[in-house]
Amino acid sequence: MTAAHVAERTQASTDRDDRAIAAQAIGLSKTYGEGGALVTALGDVTVEFASGQLTAIMGPSGSGKSTLMHCMAALDTPTAGTVIIDGTDITHLKDKALTRLRRDRLGFVFQAYNLVPTLTAQENITLPMDIAGRRVDAEWFDTVVDTLGIRDRLAHRPDELSGGQQQRVACARALLSRPAIVFADEPTGNLDSRASAEILAFLRASVDDFGQTIVMVTHDPSAASYADRVVFLVDGAIVDDIVKPTMAVVLERIQELDRPRAEA
Amino acid sequence: MWRVTLRGIQGHLVRLLLTAAAVMLGVSFVTGTFVLRDSFDRAISGLVAGSSAGLDVAVRGTEIAGGDGARARLPLDLVDSLSAVPGAARVSPDLRGVAIIAGSDGTAVRNSGAPGLGFAFSDDDPAFTLIKGRGPVGAGEVVVETVTLDKGGLEVGDRTRAVIGGETRHVVITGEVEFGVLFGATAVLVDEASAIHSFARDGTVPSFTITAADGVSQAELRASVAEVVPRGIEVVTGATVDAENESSVQQGLGFFTTFLLVFAGVALFVGAFIIGNTFSMLIGQRARELALLRALGASRGQVLRSVLGEAAVVGVVGSILGMGLGVLVAQGAKLAIAGLLGVDIGTSLPVTSSTLLISLAVGTLVTMASAILPARRAARTAPVAAMRGDTPIAQKGLRRRGISGAVLLGVGVGLLGLAVTREDVPWVAAGIGSFVAVMGMLVGAPLFARPVVRAVVWPFVVVSGVVARLARQNALRVPRRTAATASALMIGLALVAGISVLAQSVKASITEGVSSELTSDFVLSGGQSPVPPQVATEASKLSEVSSVAAVGLVPVTIGDFSTTAAAVEAASMPENFTVSMAEGRLDSMEGDRVLVDRTTASDNRWEVGDVLPATVGTLGAHDLVVGGIYEDSQAFGTHVIVSRGLYEDAVPSDMQTDLQVYVAAVGGADQAQLREDLDAIVSPYLVVSVMNASEFATAEGTAIDNLLNLLYVLLLFSVVIAVLGIVNTLALSVLERTREIGLLRAVGLQRRQLGAMITVEAIATAAFGAVLGTVLGLGLGIALQRGLEAQGLRTLGIPWGLVVLMLGASVLVGVLAAVAPSIRATRLNILAAINRA
Ligand SMILES: Nc1ncnc2c1ncn2[C@@H]1O[C@H](COP(=O)(O)OP(=O)(O)OP(=O)(O)O)[C@@H](O)[C@H]1O
Ligand SMILES: [Mg+2]
């Protein structure tokens, strides 16, 4: 990553600083178990994600990153608090409406196992649209597929793809329906540095070029440096929020956050 | 390593329970069939022993040569000399005949297919006991057997009508008796004088039953009786009679026992399929875990042993449960048999140790055997490779299996085809051919999965798009598995289809025969019961009637050719039947001149005018003359036709009942009026009905339907088990695809759509089995019909209605099978599913 690159990107995101809010959590809590065995995965988290931004969520293992993501992505129900996606309060929606919301307005990229093994790459990409019975925008499909460089892999099944290719197919699927927001939980966690760089570059590009909103969990400081903003979670609470992070800043924060834990 | 085995069982409880359920289903199939078979055997022995209660020695006439077991009758007054025999406590002439009683609704009390019997009542007859009322006195009183009474809605004290020995009487029911064994027949008892009047009109009876005094053995009594009876009369012990009866009942039910044996074989096979299928899925799913064990240093042998130990535990547990279920299945089948055929085969359920051993061995060994292959595969996989990859995806390498399946199928069909087109069908070769063809179908099934499943799912794809496409991919993911799951249904439905082609062909042949050879307007028939001779006499007096042909039956032996001949008046034939003469003239049949059909004549090299030494009914050493040769006929179904004159000489007068009476109207007669008049004639005889030609053809076919229904019930059990097999596989594959289902839900698949996906997959599997089974069954049925063409099965009947029903029902089967797995799948927590290792 060159300095020029970073500068250019920082410039781009500054332009969108006062954008609309794509997703919002208010007083979000999630606890597991009860009594002595009570685990607080999230404790009263309030955060908002602006449209057209790539936000990274970082924090030590077990800090509640995935939990936050799942609650916001309508995959899990919070114990308390409100989640608003694209202007809709989803806290009290029924399963059917939540499913429709995930299908039409959200995109997902998981760390692994993103694809249905019986379907080809192309079928996997269009799956949510097919489920919805919506027509696929062919031009947009071509743009996404070409940007990700997976055109020659479209007819292959997931077991015939490398890990990086699988993640790219998953990215294409997440973007195809032009969702209000894409959630990615350690999308590069299983990949080597080159493959991760490709995925991250694509996520970055889709924010820059297509105005996509993306929230991504990562442990990798270099991945965080692709983001417009980094939110730090520790023990289920937001402890820091850095706009326009650089790798150096991120590394520094991680070390700071780790120090008290290491001493304790 | 044993701890690992135990932990393995704990950790995969649900999967193991499902596998044990598969073992249970397979084993229950086996146990149920064997228990049912033993029930039959026991019931038959019990019946036979019960039917000879009080019979220590039987005195009977000698068998008439070629008379199909018919015996010469004995004079009634023989009773006096028999009673004088020392050691004989009780001597009774067997006064029995046909008797039918009208129920409270005025119609005959019948027990589907079984005869209506009449007996003489006697206080000390050990064959039955009076449980209510008193014995009959005089011609106006009867005693009725308890089940008969019940069926007719009658009670002791009721007045009703009865036809006893061909005579209609108004009677009062004075008592109720219980029989030891009656083989499902109805029974009416009259006093001795009436019995002699009705059943021994000419002073003869078929036999005498002698009960020994205390301390006299059957053999001793037999010896003393033999001293007093004239020559030419048989004296046999009760034990001999039992043995004869048992073998004749066994022979009569031979078809059924053979069917049960075949069914047991199929049961073993299908059971093995279900078990093998499930266990290989289970091991496949655990490949990772086993690989981890290997990576941690367990040897191949240890992994293998641990898996086999697990299989043994599951096998034993499943087998024990299966035996219990099997007994229930047998009980259900018995109830069905009792309900459908009115045959009570007893309440006991004989579970023999050999049944238990076979069931346990089958369940355990098949489970272990089916665990070996996948376990070896798992033990051999490089740890790293197994840690990767998730669920099995469409495998390749079906080609070899497909080719062997196709070859087997080809060889089987070829052999079967060659066999059934031969003049003298080699049935053993045909049987082997069928078996090989079925094996070929089973082996080759995975190869047929793709086209059939695609075709079946196509309409769903049109309607619901991606959901059905996903279902299709799932069904085709492991064609072997889909094929194995469907095979249970395939076998069951193949049997159904095959049997019904046969039955339909029998019916079609009858209809064909009736419509082409029957020209009379009405047929008077009593079904299984004979038509009293008075019916024909009265019918011929009607003004609208032009001709009446009464058809009786008489056993005939000519040279070494034995058959049952029809006895008809030559003059009555042309108006009632189409009989074309090949040689000689129809009206030459008179006295000792008989007609022979063309095949019989040419087989025996008889020609018109030949004089042949023969026996006819009770007439021994009687010469017959071939009066004419007629073209083979379906209408009679007999190979020889004799004159009424000869019949009257050869058959005792009280046995001269008619099988059927055919009536031809005068030209332009009012058919409706004629029918009314005929109805009036037959109504006193209760069981005789008036039918036109098409009704007659249908009635002839219904006898087949009863038997068919029984077979269908048995096969229904195989279908039930097949359904449970599908449920099981589906449930396991839902488990196997937990993550994938979570993913689908995460990207927006509604619960309803998920349920639809699993349902379509189940439908595809079931319909696949149904299609293959139907094709197989139709093929085998058609081959059988071709083979039996010479035996009179001339017309092929395809039960299209049933085919449509089976295919339709398979859709329903799929829907039902999908219910539980769908519920399970839709209740999955998305996150838990995705995060599952
Ligand atoms: N189903 C559950 N039951 C009980 N506790 C849970 C459950 N899921 C998560 N937790 C707990 O909640 C806390 C937060 O978990 P979460 O998965 O959000 O962490 P994370 O930040 O994503 O960690 P990682 O970086 O390791 O993925 C942890 O302490 C975890 O043990
Ligand atoms: Mg996490």
The answer to whether the CB of A65 is under 6 A from ligand 1 is yes
DSSP B176: E
Can you give the pLDDT at residue A154? 92
Residues B215-261 have pLDDT tens digits of 888 888 888 888 888 887 888 888 888 888 878 777 766 666 667 66
Residue B599 has phi, psi (to 5 degrees) of -60, -45
For A227, half-sphere exposure in the C-beta direction (CA atoms, 13 angstrom radius) is: 31
Q: Report the pLDDT value the prediction gives residue B764, as an integer from 0 to 100.
A: 92
pLDDT value at position B394? 41
B393 in contact with A, Cβ within 8 Å = yes
pLDDT of residue B343: 60
A to B CB pairs, distance under 8 Å: 70
Instruction: Give distance in angstroms: CA of A41 to centre of ligand 1.
Output: 6
Predicted local confidence at residue A187, as pLDDT: 86
pLDDT at A1 over 80: no
- The answer to whether the CB atoms of A108 and B467 lie below 8 A apart is no
Q: Which whole number is the average pLDDT over B781-796?
A: 83
Residues with Cβ within 8 Å of residue B10, at least 6 apart in sequence: none
CB B220 within 8 A of CB B89: no
Q: Is the ipTM of this complex over 0.90?
A: no
| pLDDT, greater one: B27 or B297 | B27
pLDDT attached to residue A28: 92
The percentage of residues in chain B with a pLDDT greater than 70, rounded to a whole number, is 87
Can you tell me the mean pLDDT for B432-460?
88
Mean pLDDT calculated for residue range A233-237: 91
Cβ neighbours for A1, distance < 8 A, ≥ 6 positions apart: A222, A225, A247
Tell me what the mean pLDDT of segment A213-223 comes to: 89
Which residue lies with its CA nearest to atom 13 of ligand 1?
A41
pLDDT band, residue B69 (cuts 50/70/90): low
Mean pLDDT along residues B412-416: 91
Sign of the C-alpha dihedral computed for residues B169, B171, B175 and B178 taken in this order: positive
DSSP B504-526: HHHHHHHHHHHHHHB--SEEEEB
pTM, rounded to two decimals: 0.73
**In the structure, what pLDDT confidence band is assigned to residue A55 with cuts at 50, 70 and 90?**
very high
Of B19-33, B444-458, B732-746, least confident by mean pLDDT is B19-33
- Give mean pLDDT, residues B61-73: 67
What chain B residue is nearest to A176 in terms of C-alpha separation?
A: B747
> Looking at the predicted structure, is the pLDDT value of residue B38 above 90?
no
Average pLDDT in chain A: 84
First and final C-alpha spacing in chain B: 23
Structure confidence at residue B760 (pLDDT): 92
Report chain B's mean pLDDT, rounded to a whole number: 82
| pLDDT (average), residues B480-493 | 84
Q: Which residue of A lies nearest to B834 if distances are taken between CA atoms?
A: A113
Instruction: Give the mean model confidence (pLDDT) for residues A95-121.
Output: 86
Tell me, what's the pLDDT at B731? 83
Contacts (Cβ under 8 Å, ≥6 apart) of B451: none
Q: Which residue has the tokens 């000698």?
A: B62
Region A151-175 average pLDDT: 89
Work out the pLDDT band at B1, boundaries 50, 70, 90: low
pLDDT of residue B340: 64
* Strands B186-190 and B116-120, bridge-based pairing: parallel
pLDDT digits (tens, 9 = 90+) for A57-83: 998 888 999 899 989 988 888 999 999
pLDDT at position A14 over 60: no
Instruction: Give me the mean pLDDT over the A108-129 stretch.
Output: 86
The token pair at B741 is: 């289902």
The pLDDT of residue A2 is: 42
Mean pLDDT of B322-340: 81
Domain range enclosing A216: 3-263
Best-predicted range by mean pLDDT among A5-9, A136-140, B399-403? Answer: A136-140
Residue B94 has pLDDT above 60, yes or no: yes
Atom 7 of ligand 1: nearest residue by CA position: A32
Dihedral in degrees, nearest 10, Cα atoms B575, B580, B586, B591: -100
Helices A193-210 and A3-14, axial angle in degrees (round to 10): 30
Q: For residue A230, what pLDDT band results from cuts at 50, 70 and 90?
A: very high
The CA–CA distances, whole Å, from A135 to A101, A140, A189, B559 equal: 17, 12, 33, 86
Least confident of A103-107, B85-89, B181-185: B181-185
What is the C-alpha separation between A219 and A233, in angstroms, rounded? 12
Q: With 90 as the cut, is the pLDDT of residue A182 above it? A: yes
A3 pLDDT tier (thresholds 50, 70, 90) = very low
Residues of chain B with pLDDT > 90, as a percent, come to 9
User: How many beta carbons lie within 10 A of that of residue B785, not counting itself?
Assistant: 23
pLDDT at B165 (0 to 100): 79
Atom of ligand 1 nearest to the CA of A68: 18
Inform me whether the pLDDT recorded for A256 exceeds 70.
yes
CB distance A32 to ligand 1 below 6 Å? yes
Q: What is the mean pLDDT of residues B129-150?
A: 90
Q: Averaged over B111-120, what is the pLDDT? A: 77
Q: What are the DSSP calls for B14-60, one per residue?
A: HHHHHHHHHHHHHHHHHHHHHHHHHHHHHHHHHHHHHHTTT-SEEEE
| Closest CA relative to residue A212, chosen from A132, A76, A105, A124 | A105
Residue B438 has pLDDT above 70, yes or no: yes
DSSP three-state, residue B380: helix
Q: What is the pLDDT of residue B254?
A: 63
Structure confidence at residue B82 (pLDDT): 86
Tell me the chain B residues in contact with residue A130 when contact means C-beta distances shorter than 8 Å: 465-466, 469
Tell me which residue of B281, B92, B115 sits closest to B185, measured CA to CA.
B115
Between CA A151 and CA A120 the distance in angstroms is 12
Q: Ligand 1 centroid to B729 CA: how many Å? A: 33
Q: Find the chain A residues whose C-beta atoms sit closer than 8 A to any C-beta of B.
A: 70, 75-76, 95-96, 99-100, 102-104, 108, 110, 113-119, 123, 127-128, 130-133, 157, 159, 173
Q: Identify whether the C-beta of residue B227 lies closer than 8 Å to the C-beta of residue B56.
A: no
Give the pLDDT score at B175: 93
Give me B688's structure tokens: 């005789």
C-beta separation of B86 from B57 below 8 A = no
Looking at residues B88-99, what average pLDDT do you find?
85
- Under DSSP, the state recorded for B468 is H
The tokens 């299983």 sit on which residue?
A: A190
pLDDT for B604 equals 86
Among A103-112, B34-43, B205-214, B664-673, whose mean pLDDT is lowest?
A: B34-43
**Tens digits of per-residue pLDDT, B628-659?**
898 887 666 788 999 988 888 888 776 777 88
User: What confidence tens digit (pLDDT) does each residue in B537-584 have?
Assistant: 888 898 888 889 988 888 888 877 888 888 998 888 888 888 888 888
Say whether pLDDT at B616 is over 80.
yes
What per-residue confidence (pLDDT) applies to A155?
92
Tell whether the model's pLDDT for residue A262 goes beyond 50: no
Q: What is the pLDDT of residue A47?
A: 92
CATH number at residue A13: 3.40.50.300
What number of other Cβ atoms are within 10 A of residue A96's Cβ?
A: 11
Q: What is the DSSP letter of A207?
A: H
Of residues B44 and A252, which shows the higher confidence score?
Answer: A252
Q: Residue range B361-365: average pLDDT?
A: 86
Distance, in angstroms, between A238 CA and closest chain B CA?
Answer: 23
Of A102, A119, A159, the CB nearest to B748: A102
Cα angle A100-A103-A109, degrees, rounded to a multiple of 5: 145
| pLDDT band with cut points at 50, 70 and 90 for residue A25 | very high
The reported pLDDT for the residue numbered B277 is: 74
- Total domains in chain A come to 1
pLDDT at site B9: 63
The stretch B756-767 carries a mean pLDDT of 91
Q: What is the pLDDT of residue B344?
A: 62
Give the span between the Cα atoms of A45 and A28, in whole angstroms.
Answer: 5
Say how far apart CA B486 and CA B284 lie, in whole Å: 19
For residues B68 and B135, which has the higher predicted lDDT (pLDDT)?
A: B135
Choose which residue among A30, A31, A39 to substitute to test ligand 1 binding: the one with the highest number of ligand atoms within 8 A of its C-beta. A39
**How large is the average pLDDT for residues B266-289?**
71
Report the alpha-carbon distance of residue B429 to residue B417 in Å, rounded. Answer: 10
